Amino acid sequence: MMLLRLLSWPYLKKHVLRWALTIAGIVLGVAVFVAMHVANRSVHAAFEKTVQKIAGSAQLQVSAGEFGFPEEVLEQVQNVPEVGVAVPVIESTVETGIRTQGSILILGIDMTGDRSLRDYELDSADESIIDDPLVFLAQPDSLLITREFAERNGLALNAKIPLFTVQGEKQFTVRGIMSSTGMAQAFGGNLAIMDIYALQLVLGRGRRFDRIEIKAKDGVRLDECKAAVQRAVGPGFEIDPPSSRGQHFDALMQSYTTATGVSSLFAMVVGMFIIYNSFSIAVTQRRSEIGILRALGATRSQVQRLFLLESVVAGFLGSMLGVLAGMGMAVGVSSYMGDLTEQVVGVAQRLDELAVDPWLIVGALAIGIGTSVVAAWIPARSAARVDPIQALQKGKYQVLSAGENRRRRAGAAVLVVISGVCLFFNNWKPAFYTGYILMILAGLLIAPAVSLLLAKALRPALKKFLPAEGTLAADSLIQSPRRTSATVSALMLSLAMVVGFGGFTNSIYVSMDEWMSTALNPDFFVAHSANLTNRSITFPAEVGQTIESVEGVDQVQLVRDARVIYGGTPIMVVSVETEKLLSKVKRVPLAGNSKEMHALTAAGKGAIISDGFSSMRHVTLGDMLDIPTPSGLLKLPVAGVIRDYSDLQGAVFIDRSVYLKYWNDTTVNVVRVYLRKDADAAEVKRRITDSLSGKYRLLVMTNSEVRAYVLKLMDQWFSMTYNQIAVAILVAVLGIVNTLTVSITDRRRELGVMQAVGGLRNQIRRTVWLEAIGIGIIGLVLGMGLGAVNLYYSLGMIQRDLGGLDLDYIYPVGFMSLMIPTILSAAFIAAVGPAESAVRGSLVEALEYE
């Protein structure tokens, strides 16, 4: 502790900027980690809270995916002797016409029996929340809202609320106000209750329910009740506790949370290099102090502990600030992720508070401090081994010994070989990820040697460009490979991440474009709203006939898609009119024969699966699918595998005739409309809108609008990742600033001498700028190289664990061309401050340095 006060504190005071930069690296890494995890947890918690609050005292839920099931199932469940209470539910988010409120979660329940499961009462039992229950049931516009929603919008009993239904914007009447406790807390208070039969009408659901909620009869065990209900309704139904919906939500969000987790980890590792760099520099600059300490009797372990203690302090400070910054960032990120889940995944929830796990904070602090200690370990160990004689030789420490270089190269070669061996066992998950990690480690080990080579290679070019400044800049890089390589490694990792994500997004955009060109080729899409992932509002198939009769329309295809639970997690089932689809869309199967695939599917004797479904579920051509339906398990062989991006969880395509038979539902989500060749698109669109007006509020979207919508969803999906990449690059740029600051400090005397012998200030500035640009160039070359490897593994990871998409390896050349000026500009900007500091210092002090 005394050493910390006597040695570390004065050094810290002298190099406040560097310590600030070091801590900034930790702050950013921890902040991104905390923000992403708190946001993930908050979104999950908001969903769970909504599920839990609206489930009331229900112990089990009977469901058959998003398609729902016919009303008759309710009676079957109610007749099960083990069932105490069984009530039907429909749940949907509906857009309100209130500008500031967005969507509201509407729960359709049967008021005549539902109170045994849910509590709608006010705090005081002497008041009824519904003005008149009979009027509530008699009037299909009746709504029961929460007190919070009422107060937010100045609504009282009998006030009107506009809602967008399948029949257009309709006015609903507030006929009751719930207290702000219990169920009213669900969906951030944006909750309304409606009579289930009225809601069926509003959502165009026909005589179907979403689920049945059950309370077992007193004295009956839950597993007994579940088994009895399963026997009564058959294997096509899921019977699970309400909490299982949280697991399904997690499954839907898995690919996103994993992707953000990986990128926040990258940010942390990049931060680790900054710390490593800072401590290496500190050791270098204080080697004479260390030498004196050792001469005075300080042991090696005392010196090592001193540096480790400094790293703990820096890690703690950085982590604390990072946690605070992360919490601040989490507010925005959570809100963004909430919108994202609604828009992309089609699962709505409303965030009203951040869910912070104290263990996450402890974990973040531990990670921040741990990262700091790990990063400082090697410099601390080096400090302990400082030879007092070597300590007096300036610059000596920054040189990597031939032995160390050899060891690093050998280590990298071994790791590459092991990694290569792992490639042969790619199907085994641990082998794949081991190979991935070892390859990145190999890149890190080899980075100093390659940096040195590249710095030497750069020397002639820099010399040719600016003889004096270029030579000095190159020499500085060559003479201090340890200092240079830490920054270069950080930059390399950031850029490798950029190549990985950039390549993945590039590949997916290219593949999506191909997919949209073939699969999404109708002229118009008719749907309830522009949000095509909201499948809760459907409309009758007659709409298709109405549209088909419009002049200028060539063909109409009815689509009904929704998620069902397959093997415990959700998948998308898409029912299409196969023969009609075949006449307009040419899908080339990845597995199977096109003709046979379509023939079997059209005849209801097979199903087509997406490549994502195939790889995630390990299902391939000829395998039998057991798709749960309200009529029992639908057994269909896989007739073909196609490349498809309808859903991240994978999709199964069946013929509409099969859907009608097994789901007993004639409703439609989307109508695909093809026009005659000579038709005037704008005129036909107007005619279709006119033909539907008065009956249904449906949107007619053009092909380009739907494509733009899909691309917007993609952009939303990736935008958070882009932000994290930006943070990682920012951290890496901080590293450049740090390195240059130290480089200037190290070379103060040298730069002072330059000025003393007539060197111009601009020459010194240019030397520093060139050194920064040199680091940028080396980082770019290494980053692009490691990025190529990272992209390979990233695509493998996506296919294996994040959506099952089989994407082509396309190196993001265009994207990286943009990165070249970006990184070089960032390097230059990073050099401006240190360069100015180099020329503005006192010449006498500089000459006296050391």
Partner 1 sequence: MSRFILALVLAVSGGMPAFAQDGKQIVEEAQRRARSGSQRYEGTLQVIDAKTKVTEKRWVFDRIGSHGNSKAVLRFTAPAEVKGMALLIVNHPDRSSDQWMWTPSLARERRIAMQDRSTRFFGTDFSFEDLEERDTNQFDYKLLAEESFVGTPCWKIESRPKSTKSSQYTHSILWIRKDNYVLAQIENFRNAGLIRRIKYSDIRSVQGFWTAHTTEVEDLKRNSRTVLKLEKLQYNLPMKDEDFTLQAIRREG
| Interface contacts to partner 1, rule CB under 8 A | 74-75, 78, 84-87, 110, 112-113, 115-116, 125-128, 130-135, 137-140, 197-198, 201
HSE (CB half, 13 Å, CA atoms) of 689?
12
In the complex, minimum distance from the CB of residue 58 to partner 1, in angstroms, rounded to a whole number: 13
CB closer to partner 1, 31 vs 194: 194
SS3 content of the chain, % helix, strand, coil (to 5): 60, 15, 25
CB closer to partner 1, 139 vs 657: 139
CB closer to partner 1, 86 vs 348: 86
CB closer to partner 1, 229 vs 314: 229
Q: Which amino acid is at 210?
A: D
Closest CA to 626 of 648, 594, 654, 587: 654
Tokens of 171: 């006015």
In the complex, minimum distance from the CB of residue 114 to partner 1, in angstroms, rounded to a whole number: 9
CB closer to partner 1, 108 vs 640: 108
DSSP 96: B
DSSP 139: -
Tokens of 137: 């049931």
Q: Is 702 helix (H, G, I), strand (E, B) or coil?
A: strand
Query: The tokens 């009993």 sit on which residue?
Result: 157
In the complex, minimum distance from the CB of residue 368 to partner 1, in angstroms, rounded to a whole number: 54
In the complex, minimum distance from the CB of residue 800 to partner 1, in angstroms, rounded to a whole number: 48
Pair 610, 638: CB distance under 8 Å = no
172 — alpha (psi -120 to 50), left (phi > 0) or beta?
beta
Q: Is 559 helix (H, G, I), strand (E, B) or coil?
A: strand
Euclidean distance between the first and the last CA atom of the chain, given in angstroms as a whole number: 27
In the complex, minimum distance from the CB of residue 337 to partner 1, in angstroms, rounded to a whole number: 38
In the complex, minimum distance from the CB of residue 196 to partner 1, in angstroms, rounded to a whole number: 8
In the complex, minimum distance from the CB of residue 352 to partner 1, in angstroms, rounded to a whole number: 31
In the complex, minimum distance from the CB of residue 656 to partner 1, in angstroms, rounded to a whole number: 26
CB closer to partner 1, 71 vs 387: 71
CB closer to partner 1, 173 vs 254: 173
Tokens of 40: 């993930």
Rounded distance between C-alpha atoms, residue 771 and residue 475, angstroms: 9
CB closer to partner 1, 139 vs 518: 139
In the complex, minimum distance from the CB of residue 149 to partner 1, in angstroms, rounded to a whole number: 22
Q: How many helices (H) and strands (E) does the chain have?
A: 28, 20
CB closer to partner 1, 128 vs 719: 128
Cα 456 to Cα 401, 453, 473, 764, 768, distances in angstroms: 16, 5, 11, 20, 17
In the complex, minimum distance from the CB of residue 77 to partner 1, in angstroms, rounded to a whole number: 10
CB closer to partner 1, 107 vs 333: 107
In the complex, minimum distance from the CB of residue 85 to partner 1, in angstroms, rounded to a whole number: 5
In the complex, minimum distance from the CB of residue 136 to partner 1, in angstroms, rounded to a whole number: 8
Rounded distance between C-alpha atoms, residue 422 and residue 536, angstroms: 46
Rounded distance between C-alpha atoms, residue 356 and residue 359, angstroms: 9
CB closer to partner 1, 88 vs 592: 88
Those residues with Cβ within 8 angstroms of residue 575's Cβ, 6 or more apart along the chain or in another chain: 559, 560, 561, 653, 654, 655, 656, 658, 659
CB closer to partner 1, 86 vs 462: 86
Task: Please count the other Cβ atoms lying within 10 Å of the Cβ belonging to residue 734.
Answer: 25
How far, rounded to the nearest angstrom, does the alpha carbon of residue 835 sit from its chain's CA centroid? 39
Rounded distance between C-alpha atoms, residue 218 and residue 224, angstroms: 12
CB closer to partner 1, 220 vs 603: 220
Q: Is 668 helix (H, G, I), strand (E, B) or coil?
A: strand
Pair 272, 670: CB distance under 8 Å = no
**H/E run at residue 690:** helix 681-692
Pair 16, 22: CB distance under 8 Å = no
Q: Please provide residue 670's backbone torsions phi and psi, each rounded to the nearest 5 degrees.
A: -135, 140
